[in-house]
Structure 1
Amino acid sequence: MFQKRSIRILITLILIFVLVYLIYLTRFIFEPVGAYLTAIAVPIIGAGIIFYITNPIVNWLEKKKVPRIAGTFIVFLLVVFFVAIVIQFIAPIVQKQFSNFVDSVPKMVDNTIQLFEMWQENQNIIPPQFENAIQNMIDNLSGYAERITSGIIGVIGQIFSFIFAIFLIPFFLFFMLKDGYKFVPFVTKFLSPAKAESFKTLTANINHTLSSFIQGQFIVSVCVGAMLYIGYLIIELNYSLTLALFGLVMNFIPFVGPFLSAIPAIIVGFFQDPMLAVWATVVMVVAQQIESNFISPNVMGRALSLHPLTVITLILAAGGIAGFIGLLFIIPAYAVIKTIISHFYHEWQRKQPEDDPDLF
């Protein structure tokens, strides 16, 4: 039995490899499909995130005998109201603080150069290699500042390039909220009863995985952003709202996100007042301790059941391959893939003889 099963597994792996190779050879056929998916990726992903945040409200209204179409319109009004508040009150402050921060970058660079020069003048004995390294860093500091500024401008340009796609999000979201529940019954009509039941289970598990991550991470990130904003206001840190929003977004990246969000706050605090860098670090540590010990255990629990080492490895790989976008989406993507593989493995295991259910 072991040999026969091993041969079947080996043949399956070979066939998968051949299939992947054939797809690679005929990749020109899939290029239009890839272009199409790339074009609709932003509205679908954006609408999907908002869908998992707002769908519980529509479901709750439906349980209260409110028609789903009416509940969808109510949720849309709430989303429009929230966006209007952001545009009216928050966006101007963030835009002003961000502009001031960009304008202050050259001054920060000059202060850094002066700090290095002052430190260099006060040193009696400096190894030549170390002195040369410092001098090279000082000489290249202006270039680094220009690269940072151009990088910021490039990011802004990319954001504007997504404006049209973002405008499509409400249309996708409307039909997701209105007709999303019809997808599974529509597909199962074409499947046998056993496969239909398996498909229902699979989609339910995927839905639970995504909703657990998106809803939980959204609540946790909003709480962390609010705590950071309050803390930055208390210590009177410049650009407090912008830095708090940056921390909110970074908190969607597990483990690494909080450390990334602390870097700009510490840098801004150091140039404003060196002691503020310490207080900014204290604010970040306190917020993360409250989040990790009180908020996340009650909101997130162990919904994804991912080992911390697995998360760190995935983040490192995704950051190197896809950059910031990879950091944001690698964890839910991995969780979904893990859910799919686990489902099909249990389905395969269930069909094996009771006396020999193991894979090997």
Structure 2
Amino acid sequence: MFEKKSFRILITTILVFLLIYLIYITNFIFAPVGAYLTAIAVPIIGAGFIFYITNPIVNLLEKYKVPRVIGVIIVFLLIIALIVFGVYVVAPVVQQQFNKLANNLPNMVDSAEDLINLWQNRQSYIPDQLNETIKRLTDNLNTYVENITSVLFDAIGQIFSFVFSFFLIPFFLFFMLKDGEKFVPFITQFLNESKSKSVKKLAESINHTLASFIQGQFIVSVCVGVMLYIGYIIIDLNYSLTLALFAVVMNFIPFVGPFLSAVPAVLVGLFEDPILGVWAAVVMIIAQQIESNFISPNVMGKVLQIHPLTVITLILAAGGIAGFLGLLFIIPAYAVVKTIISHFYEEWRNSQKES
């Protein structure tokens, strides 16, 4: 009986749940560790994101016989130059457009109410239930706008607290770029040869997954943002830079991000001129077609190998649990977990073949 596979699976499941229960009842031991990890999560994640974008530059400079420390300093100077450019050139334009959009928001709400009322009055054959639904929507439109505004301000508050931890990011980033390659050898020196090879292989797989996703998604998002900005300027759409930057951020969410980024641009165009809303949708479709057919296949390929239905399910769950940050991090987190499970499953299969 003890050699049956079903019995071993049952025992393993019981032990896993017992371990979870023991961790739960000894939460007071792990609480300080969790608080410590939470405190350093923002600088580590932020530095890790910038590391995967800038590390290829440092490696390229190192190939041309530039000392790694000098290469890291050059990267920091480039980052400082980009920050200065953003603060003095991009930020004032975005702030001006955002303030103009906020001031015009009440007018957009009034226009939406007038449009709904006009359509409702001219459609005498509308069922009573639909009339009641439209009336309820019109009456509560201001409430919906207030709720959206409150959510926006909460998100801004989270962003400020997120930015507050940014002063640690340069320190983490410097040592990641300078000594990142020494981390795995430092860990594996305490292991035997077989386990050391396994850990090195796992680290390489995780590093390849994260690097491919972050670098590829960054390039794709920037390209889409540039294409949308050019298209919005051509059709003379208001708030073009703000909407393009919003699209850059949203495109970091795989599969559904492009659709989310299209909504504000189309709505702004419709309120300004219905034809302009149609042109905004056309610009978005053209940009997404170029991205999906030319940019993504050449930049990312099929790195993550995740089914679109899985992506949608993960995004829905992450959005409900962790909000916007969950939408950004759920796909790379899932990809890393998938890489780890695949690695250990492959190790287990190899051990079974050997035995």
Kept in 2, the 8 Å contact 1:319–1:327? The answer is: yes
Alignment correspondent of 2:119:
119
2: CA distance, partners of 1:135 / 1:4: 65
> Which one is further off, 284-293 or 2-11?
2-11
One-letter code aligned to 2:213: F
Alignment correspondent of 1:40:
40
By how many angstroms is 1:82 displaced? 1.1
Answering whether residue 242 of structure 2 is matched by residue 242 of structure 1, we say yes
Match of 1:338, SS state, is: helix
By how many angstroms is 1:5 displaced? 3.4
By how many angstroms is 1:255 displaced? 1.1
**1:8/1:124 Cα in 2 relative to 1: closer, same or farther (>3 Å)?**
closer
2: CA distance, partners of 1:86 / 1:174: 21
- 1:204-253 Cα shifts (integer Å, max 9, x gaps): 00000000000011001100000010111111111000001111111111
* TM value normalised by structure 2: 0.96
1: CA distance, partners of 2:19 / 2:124: 67
Alignment correspondent of 2:215:
215
Kept in 2, the 8 Å contact 1:58–1:68? The answer is: yes
2: CA distance, partners of 1:350 / 1:124: 72
**1:87/1:158 Cα in 2 relative to 1: closer, same or farther (>3 Å)?**
same
Alignment correspondent of 1:29:
29
Alignment correspondent of 2:257:
257
> Which one is further off, 50-59 or 131-140?
131-140
Kept in 1, the 8 Å contact 2:61–2:71? The answer is: yes
User: Which stretches of structure 1, 4 residues or longer, exceed 6 Å deviation after superposition?
Assistant: none
CA-atom RMSD in angstroms: 1.6
- Equivalent residue runs for 1:88-237 within 5 Å: 88-237=88-237
- Residue segments in structure 2 that go unaligned for 5+ positions in a row: none
Kept in 2, the 8 Å contact 1:102–1:149? The answer is: no
- How much identity, in percent, do the aligned residues show? 68
> Which one is further off, 125-134 or 39-48?
125-134
- 1:289-324 Cα shifts (integer Å, max 9, x gaps): 000000000000111121222222211221222121
Match of 1:168, SS state, is: helix
Kept in 2, the 8 Å contact 1:318–1:327? The answer is: yes
> Which one is further off, 132-141 or 119-128?
119-128
Alignment correspondent of 1:17:
17
2: CA distance, partners of 1:28 / 1:270: 55
Aligned residues: 355
Kept in 2, the 8 Å contact 1:52–1:215? The answer is: yes
- 1:93-141 Cα shifts (integer Å, max 9, x gaps): 1111111111111111111111122222223333322222222111111
2: CA distance, partners of 1:71 / 1:133: 62
